[in-house]
Amino acid sequence: MTNLLFLVGSLRQGSLNQRLANVARAELPEGYQATGFDLGSLPLYNSDFDGENSPESVVAFRAALHAADGVFIFSPEYNYGIPGVVKNAIDWASRPMMPRHAMVGKPMNVIVSTMSPTNGIRALNDIKRTWAAVGGVPVNTFDFVLQSAQTRFVEVDGVETLDVPALNGLRMAINHLDRIINSGAPAVALANWDAFIASLK
Ligand SMILES: Cc1cc2nc3c(=O)[nH]c(=O)nc-3n(C[C@H](O)[C@H](O)[C@H](O)COP(=O)(O)O)c2cc1C
């Protein structure tokens, strides 16, 4: 079984990104399962508490990341960039840095859902760039922003899903995450990280 960790970058009730995560869960191929983690349970990052003495929720978050074969982030764009909720989670996960933190070699894809008909790509790029900067493995072969997201959900047989073009985008995003999980990229990223850490000594 391939385990995905689903992270939602909006904490509000009725979040479009949470609704998209629900649709994505139903679209996962056979052999996949998803678990969620509430990013709202994490306190604001404080480097006084990023080692042995980390808060319980942070320890649980790092354990969930370690246990996952891949991560799927569903996030809004805030003020042309990465929402604080997502950045805060990445900052906690990036410590302790040595020998390997929980994102090293970890495949990740992100979809940004926005009410805007034009925006969203900046947050998507920020999240992928940051994930790569900490030694993770973002999907770099396919970008998908769900624009005008409030108009893209439909009901089929009483179950919420997406209109056809949006559903195709979601399926492609899942497919590219699956591909990178099953590629050699995670092993290369782990080896690169280990060489980087060794070079610091
Ligand atoms: C503080 C704030 C900043 C926002 N900035 C952007 C932005 O830069 N680009 C954008 O596309 N949408 C922006 N929006 C609108 C969000 O795309 C919209 O609120 C979206 O529905 C949020 O996702 P959610 O439904 O999962 O909460 C912003 C919303 C908030 C609350």
pLDDT value of residue 131: 98
Residue 201 has a pLDDT of 82
| CATH fold label, 2-199 | Rossmann fold (3.40.50)
Taking the domains of the chain in order of start, what are their residue ranges? 2-199
The residue whose C-alpha atom lies closest to atom 1 belonging to ligand 1 is 78
Ordered per-residue pLDDT tens for the chain, 201 residues? 999 999 999 999 999 999 999 999 999 999 999 999 999 999 999 999 999 999 999 999 999 999 999 999 999 999 999 999 999 999 999 999 999 999 999 999 999 999 999 999 999 999 999 999 999 999 999 999 999 999 999 999 999 999 999 999 999 999 999 999 999 999 999 999 999 999 998
Indicate the top mutation candidate among 20, 75, 79, 112 to test ligand 1's pocket, ranked by most ligand atoms within 8 A of CB. 79
In the block, residue with structure tokens 């990104």: 17
Ligand 1 environment, Cβ below 6 A: 10, 12, 15-17, 76-80, 113-116, 119-120
